């Protein structure tokens, strides 16, 4: 049999020692901080650490073995991103070049008003988690809540009760290592035969789908993989900048909620001295999202739309942002992409059981209206990767994400601009 040619990333990293390979992924801005590599290698070998007081990234502590790094490269969303696994694509599923494989697109929200209010958008993900637990379809939910040590971050949490699920509602727009304990969780499931659902960012789902290819426990014990459409999080330098301008000292924050309690709800920042700041969404992120300071990996993300999740939940503002008028009275509804049969069955059962209220159905072009930034990014990433490769930068191996056909829709001039821009950024700014 002919030997398979190593992928671009493998060739690029191949001459480095195992630990240097991890360092290179981080140095080149491809570590999103999901924590899976710490879980695979063990915290004595790799630890998620705050670097420059800002990014939460993987730091090798001892020389790693090549077999460990080989596993990490097969799993890391900075080195490998794929679309929905083939066995999950049904014959009667629909395909859209931008939005991928889908079975249903619909508007929906949590039926329970307090869940809807508490959730980031319409509380859909929280309602699904509540249904899964209360119907005893899974034993626990692995997701993220506000960090107990870094108020602006998220931290992985396991919810076994409805109260715990509700407490974790709301989007965490800071670094969030949801998978920092994933191997340990799978080991425990193997012993106890417990099952769970994962709610995480598209990068978390990518990591889990990648892990499933080398660890059969993922598919045995993780019954559902639910995500949010994700434009990226705010790095700490960016958040410091935004808060400085509002006169809020990031180092004196006691508790922070980015959104929720209304759609989108104000960012609520409780200070150590008890003072509370509330900043509405548009003031926080800027009318045109100009305050977002994305990590490099988010700027070149090939999958912000949860291509490989069972269900992806999103906002539903025309044009991609709320209007000032809607800020105070939007009860919140999720645009929802249901991609798998399992996701469809879960959604239907949750509607039937009264956890979710389904509204009108959507088509991909509605999603384009709600998510113009996702459409732009998905169309730009192929050219950005070309530029990055020409600068010898780490670029994830991608499959099943339609990047090339989407780039072909662009005028050549735009692709050239994207490629040159990405190359220049990588060379001049070192992936910042
Ligand atoms: C970083 C980020 C970027 C986003 N960008 C977009 C975008 O570009 N377009 C768009 O339409 N929507 C975006 N969203 C999604 C949006 O904010 C809502 O999360 C989504 O609509 C689901 O709303 P919900 O009311 O159903 O969620 P909720 O009912 O509030 O449930 C949210 C669930 O997600 C989990 N969670 C929250 N934050 C994280 C995190 N960082 N990592 C892992 N799990 C987490 C929580 O534990 C909870 O279970 C983003 C969310 C995040 C976290």
Does 37 fall in a domain? no
Number of domains in the chain: 1
Asked if residue 227 lies in contact with residue 309, where contact means CB atoms within 8 angstroms, the answer is: yes
Q: Rounded to the nearest whole angstrom, what is the distance from the C-alpha of residue 336 to the centroid of ligand 1?
A: 12
Alpha-carbon gap, residue 93 to 363, rounded angstroms: 14
On whether residue 307 sits in a domain, the answer given is yes
Q: Is residue 181 assigned to a domain?
A: yes
Q: Looking at ligand 1, which atom is closest to the CA of residue 141? A: 49
Tell me the CA–centroid distance for residue 241 and ligand 1, in Å: 22
Helices (H), 159-315: 162-167, 182-192, 202-212, 217-221, 236-245, 281-285, 296-299
In whole angstroms, give the CA distance from residue 36 to residue 79: 13
Give the Å distance between the CA of 238 and the centre of ligand 1: 19
Please check whether residue 281 lies inside any domain of the structure: no
Task: Write the pLDDT tens digit of every residue in 353-384.
Answer: 999 999 999 999 999 999 999 999 999 999 99
pLDDT tens per residue across span 204-247: 999 999 999 999 999 999 999 999 999 999 989 889 999 999 99
**Is residue 388, in this structure, part of any structural domain at all?**
no
Cβ neighbours for 75, distance < 8 A, ≥ 6 positions apart: 36, 37, 40, 207, 210, 211, 214
Is residue 77 assigned to a domain?
Answer: no
Neighbouring-strand partners of residue 397: 80
Ligand 1 atom nearest the C-alpha of 259 is 17
Instruction: Look up the domain containing 199 and give its range.
Output: 89-234+293-372
Percent of the chain scoring above 90 in pLDDT: 91
- 8 occurs within a structural domain: no
Q: Which atom of ligand 1 is nearest to the CA of 154?
A: 41
How close is the Cα of 120 to the center of ligand 1, in Å?
A: 7
Decide: 230 in ligand 1 pocket, CB within 6 A: yes
The pLDDT tens digits of the residues spanning 58-112 come to: 999 999 999 999 999 999 999 999 999 999 999 999 999 999 999 999 999 999 9
Give domain status of residue 107, yes or no: yes
Cα-to-centroid distance, 121 and ligand 1 (Å): 8
């Amino acid at each position: 049999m002919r030997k398979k040619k190593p992928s671009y990333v493998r060739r690029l990293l191949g001459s480095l020692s195992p630990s240097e390979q991890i360092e290179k992924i981080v140095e080149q801005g491809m570590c999103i901080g999901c924590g899976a590599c710490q879980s695979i290698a063990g915290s004595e070998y790799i630890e998620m650490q705050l670097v420059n007081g800002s990014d939460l990234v993987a730091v090798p502590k001892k020389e790693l073995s090549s077999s460990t790094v080989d596993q990490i490269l097969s799993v890391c969303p900075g080195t490998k991103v794929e679309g929905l696994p083939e066995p999950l694509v049904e014959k009667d599923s629909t395909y859209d070049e931008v939005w991928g494989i889908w079975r249903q697109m619909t508007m929906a929200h949590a039926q329970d008003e307090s869940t809807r209010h508490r959730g980031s958008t319409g509380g859909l993900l929280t309602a699904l988690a509540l249904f899964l637990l209360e119907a005893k379809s899974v034993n626990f939910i692995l997701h993220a809540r506000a960090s107990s040590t870094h108020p602006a971050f998220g931290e992985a949490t396991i919810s076994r009760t409805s109260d715990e699920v509700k407490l974790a509602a709301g989007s965490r727009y800071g670094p969030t290592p949801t998978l920092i304990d994933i191997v340990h969780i799978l080991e425990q499931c193997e012993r106890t035969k417990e099952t769970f659902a994962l709610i995480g960012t598209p990068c978390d789902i990518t990591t889990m789908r990648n892990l499933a290819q080398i660890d059969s426990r993922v598919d045995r014990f993780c019954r559902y993989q639910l995500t949010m459409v994700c434009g990226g999080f705010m790095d700490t330098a960016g958040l410091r900048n935004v808060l400085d301008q509002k006169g809020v000292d990031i180092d004196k924050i006691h508790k922070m909620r980015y959104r929720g309690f209304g759609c989108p709800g104000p960012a609520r920042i409780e200070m150590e001295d008890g003072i509370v700041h509330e900043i509405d969404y548009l003031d926080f992120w800027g009318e045109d999202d100009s305050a977002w300071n994305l990590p490099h990996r988010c700027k070149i993300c090939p999958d912000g739309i949860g291509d490989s999740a069972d269900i992806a939940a999103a906002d539903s503002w025309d044009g991609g942002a709320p209007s000032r008028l809607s800020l105070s009275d939007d009860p919140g509804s999720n645009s929802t992409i249901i991609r798998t049969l399992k996701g469809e069955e879960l959604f239907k059962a949750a509607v039937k059981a009264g956890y979710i209220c389904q509204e009108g159905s959507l088509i991909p072009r509605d999603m384009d209206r709600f998510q113009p930034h996702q459409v732009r990014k998905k169309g730009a990433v192929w050219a950005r990767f070309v530029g990055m490769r020409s600068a010898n930068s780490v670029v994830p191996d991608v499959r099943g994400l339609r990047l090339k056909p989407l780039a072909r829709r662009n005028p050549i001039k735009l692709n050239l601009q994207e490629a040159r821009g990405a190359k220049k950024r990588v060379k001049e700014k070192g992936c910042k």
